[in-house]
Structure 1
Amino acid sequence: MRIQVEVNEALQDYVASISLREPEVLKDLRAETSKLPLSLMQISPEQGQFLSLLVKSTGVKKALEIGVFTGYSLIATALALPEGGTVTALDISEEWTAIAREYAARAGVADRIDLRIGDARASLDALLAREGEAGSYDFVFIDADKENYWAYYEAALTLLRPGGLVVVDNVLWHGAVLDPSAQDSETVALRAFNAKVRDDDRVELSVLPVADGLTFALKR
């Protein structure tokens, strides 16, 4: 028998009330981002806290984030890193990442972040071409354009050390992956991505129906 609690708004508020410990700088960033037209691209504070917990509990020292937006997940990750830890962040937008830079400085973690602006595929190729980068990362978070998820995932697996973790956001895509009438490029790409990861024996896999769906793939 499968028991699943329906998480309505009231229950979500309750979860936040008993668990959320949001730093003031992230609360301010979330408030500023909420005024933007694309504010839905920002992860929830509960999700940011969960990523932070993952980073701390798995001893991450070298992280990679593909897709930054205004920087909530990036700063949550950077705050969780130990002394000397770094996170390389890839995004195409100077406009949105300018906000990320400002809040990273306010959070005191700007020196832990290597922010690279440009096409993420090209940035990943540049990383892969550098001696010593392959197999050196502990953690990768992917939350960018869905059509390129598989390319990002493949690059992530090459960059990760054995036992390293890749987390992928939006894999359930507000339920559209189950709607046969949804044939837009993003939904089609996510269906294909999910099927490929399911069959990928290079990783240990778990997909959780939290937020907009999170895939956790541990490199063997």
Structure 2
Amino acid sequence: MDTDKSGEVTKITIQEPKTDTKGKGTSGASAPVIVATKAAQHPRKGWKKGVAIFDLVLRLSAIAAGFAATSLMGTTDQTLPFFTQFFQFHAEFNDVPTFLFFMIANAIASGYLVLSLPFSIVCIVRPHAAGPRLLLIILDSVVMGLTISAASATAAIVYLAHNGNSSTNWNPFCQQFNDFCQQVSSAVVASFITSTLLLSLVVLSAFALRKMK
């Protein structure tokens, strides 16, 4: 038995010469017959299982980043210390519709990632199953688009709040509500990390599906 470079196993079989009913050898068959056959070797499953395990680790990291972005935005509010009994300055995340959309989008992304964990585990148990990977790559792409759109829209608002716009006489909001802006900025960074991890999941699943062909 020999193995070639393509990963196929060459099997060599030695057959004894046939004899007739009287025990005499068949004419012209004085030597054993050597038959060479090839049997395809099963592809190794080790690297596919490693990809599936890495997929699970990325999902857990994305869940942590998504929940961090959601909780940071959902708890963002600040009241300025100088106020009277009838007048005070207070800012809360739901005062800006974009911030509310951001929180809902990241909550949806985090919930989806939690629900996707069983499918990721199935890919570890069955590394050659293409169905779960195809489903994950489609849903990951949709959620990634939702997360990136929410993070990008919020980043534009945060930039405007930090720097203002002299052309429209909009003063920087963060000069007064610095803590508010810092927490929102941290939420945006966490959301972009979630988006990056989702992009990595899409690329990883596409690579795994390509290698299955």
Settle same-fold status: TM greater than 0.5: no
Higher Rg of the two aligned structures = 2
For the superposition of Structure 1 and Structure 2, which TM-score range results when normalised by the shorter chain? under 0.3
Q: What is the TM-score normalised by the length of structure 1? A: 0.23
In proportion to residue count, which structure has more strand? 1
User: Larger relative contact order (C-alpha < 8 A, sep ≥ 6)?
Assistant: 2
TM-score by length of 2: 0.23
